Amino acid sequence: MRIYADENMPLVQQFFSDLGQVTLFDGRNACAQQLADADVLLVRSVTNVNQTLLQANSTLSFVGTATIGLDHIDQAYLDQRQIPFVNAPGCNAQSVVEYVLSSLWYLAQRYQWQLSAKTIAVVGVGNIGSRLAKALTILGAKVLLCDPIRQQHEPDFPHTDFSTVCREADIISFHTPLQSEGEFATEHLLNAQTLAQLKPDCAIINAARGGIIDNKALLAEAESLAKLGKKRPLVLDVWEHEPTILMPLLAFADIATAHIAGHSIEGKARGTEMLYQSLCQQLNIAPKYQLSQFLATPAVEKVQINPNFGLPDVQSLARLLYDVARDDAIFRYTLNNKGFDWIRKTYPARREFSSLQLSGTAVPNWLLQLGFSLEQ
């Protein structure tokens, strides 16, 4: 079996080499000839899987993307060719939540906010949004949930419509897919008109897909606000037209990163593991490997929690593992000379909260709900 995999897919040899011959390729620049004899194709979000890419291939029997996002996959085309397709829902949800929490703590320090006094809207309440909402509630924030699709299917879902979100939120964090058509389209959900409805100091966080925000409209608004001596707090992990981003927008972002919110060690590797499990299922064989066999011992493994540990201390604990300011600094320093994809390819290690084992007689339950582990 010939297995072609994105070169930025961690642990792919470890998981897949028993199943066939693994060939790595540059995901952003993949071409049809290169994949002509593939039986299995494993991609990340930078490879557009469509007729153009697969026109030279007549052997493909499995396509997997180690991501939740699907906007790079032409599913109708795969269906038409009856090629089984899977993604990896939830693989990197905790990683994105930790990115957003770190960003919020950064903004709270910079603008001297009390997060518990803020109304935070979570737009898109799926794998990421629901975990984030839970974490924000633990931190004492008032949370608005906006997900019209869930509202349609779940009568008790406490949906707040997007126009109310725009009027009432102090902070909006986007966690929807990029969808350009239909009743629930999200492309340019935030545009010149909806931006004008926001509170002037409403913070925006986008770690979903760049196209959910009209980047040109965001820049125009930021420039107008600057003329009045004002600024909207802004966190952008994703950008329209990656890897070629709207450079002037960078100056207005408090935190700017290279689509790495989901790039914890666990988040990326879980995606690979989920594709491995799906392929094993299709081949009707029992999986031989699991992620825990391959994860390295974390640099910081155990921390003692004392009874006087409280909510204000959680930021310091989280910082032992991740501080988004690190990734913002890398982005600003290297974007011009090394480029967007280089930053992604050389992304430094980041472990999730679960890698930290907490000991002591009084580890609060809410720390475990945030994702930290108890000492084993």
Ligand X SMILES: O=C(O)[C@H](O)[C@H](O)COP(=O)(O)O
Q: Which of 259, 263, 270, 351 is catalytic?
A: 259
Which chain residues interact with ligand X by CB under 6 A?
Answer: 8, 44-46, 67-69, 92, 259, 262
Q: CB neighbours of 103 closer than 8 A, spacing ≥ 6?
A: 205, 235, 255, 324
**Residue 207 is a binding residue for ligand NAD (CB under 6 A):** yes
Instruction: Name which of ligand NAD, ligand X, none residue 44 binds, using a CB cut-off of 5 to 8 Å depending on partner kind.
Output: ligand X
Catalytic (active site) residue 209: yes
Helix (H) or strand (E) holding 20: none
Instruction: Name which of ligand NAD, ligand X, none residue 94 binds, using a CB cut-off of 5 to 8 Å depending on partner kind.
Output: none
Instruction: Name which of ligand NAD, ligand X, none residue 46 binds, using a CB cut-off of 5 to 8 Å depending on partner kind.
Output: ligand X
> Contact at 8 Å (CB) between 205 and 173?
yes
**Residue 86 is a binding residue for ligand NAD (CB under 6 A):** no
**Residue 93 is a binding residue for ligand NAD (CB under 6 A):** yes
* Residues 20-34 as b or e (16 or more Cβ within 10 Å = b): eebeebebbebeeeb
Residues 150-189 within binding reach of ligand NAD (CB under 6 A): 150, 175-179, 184, 186
What's the closest the beta carbon of residue 44 comes to ligand X, in angstroms? Answer: 3
Residue 199 CB neighbour total at 10 angstroms: 15
Whether 119 has a binding-site annotation, put simply, is no
**Residue 148 is a binding residue for ligand NAD (CB under 6 A):** yes
Catalytic (active site) residue 259: yes
CA distances from 310 to 25, 112, 138, 304, 365 (A): 47, 19, 12, 13, 12
Q: What amino acid is encoded at 251 in this protein?
A: A
Residues 274-333 within binding reach of ligand NAD (CB under 6 A): none
**Which of these ranges, 7-15, 36-44, 118-126, 241-249, lies near ligand NAD under the rule CB under 6 A?**
118-126
What's the closest the beta carbon of residue 343 comes to ligand X, in angstroms? Answer: 11
For ligand X, which is the closer residue by CB, 68 or 256? 68
Tokens of 353: 């909260």
Count the site residues for ligand NAD by CB under 6 A: 34
**Which of these ranges, 48-56, 119-127, 165-173, 215-223, lies near ligand NAD under the rule CB under 6 A?**
119-127
Catalytic (active site) residue 375: no
* Residues 275-313 as b or e (16 or more Cβ within 10 Å = b): bbbbbbeeeeeeeebebeeeeeebeeeebebeeebeeee
**Which of these ranges, 89-97, 194-202, 311-319, 364-372, lies near ligand NAD under the rule CB under 6 A?**
89-97
Task: Please provide the DSSP assignment of 212-256 as one string.
Answer: GB-HHHHHHHHHHHHHTT----EEES--TTTTS--GGGGGG-SEE
Whether 58 has a binding-site annotation, put simply, is no
**CA pseudo-torsion sign 55, 44, 257, 71:** positive
Residues catalogued as catalytic: 209, 242, 259
